[in-house]
Amino acid sequence: GENVEQHPSTLSVQEGDSAVIKCTYSDSASNYFPWYKQELGKGPQLIIDIRSNVGEKKDQRIAVTLNKTAKHFSLHITETQPEDSAVYFCADGHYNAGNMLTFGGGTRLMVKP
């Protein structure tokens, strides 16, 4: 990718509420959009990813949606729990084309019990 903007930079929610993080990308050739969760003192962990041939993907409480026309994709976390508190990074890339990922600036999610 070329540039990925991520919003918001910080997000505070009450336990049980939903959280939504949005990313916008500029490279129209991007076809791979992963999301990473980074807890304090740890490396980023891949939590979900989506390729451009689908518009939505779910894994239990986590879902990602992709709008290729508008060039944005979003992470949705439902029924948030304190252990969801972390920094989340979106990224874009060209899967299986050897190109490296471009990361967004990150969102610090805080889930208050």
Partner 1 sequence: DTEVTQTPKHLVMGMTNKKSLKCEQHMGHRAMYWYKQKAKKPPELMFVYSYEKLSINESVPSRFSPECPNSSLLNLHLHALQPEDSALYLCASSSRPGEKLFFGSGTQLSVL
Residue 80 corresponds to which tokens in the numbers above?
A: 């948030």
Q: Residue 111: which residues within 8 A CB-CB, separation 6 or more?
A: 13, 14, 15, 19, 80, 81, 82, 83, 84, 85
Give the single-character DSSP code of 93. B
Secondary element (H or E) of residue 43: none
- 44 touches partner 1 by CB under 8 A: yes
List the one residue from 42, 53, 69, 83 that touches partner 1 (CB under 8 A).
Answer: 42
Give the single-character DSSP code of 42. S
Residues in 54-113 at the binding interface with partner 1, rule: CB under 8 A: 89, 93-101, 103-106, 108
- 1 touches partner 1 by CB under 8 A: no
- 45 touches partner 1 by CB under 8 A: yes
Binding mask 17-36 for partner 1 (x = CB under 8 A): -----------------x-x
Contact residues toward partner 1 (CB under 8 A) are: 34, 36, 41-46, 49, 89, 93-101, 103-106, 108
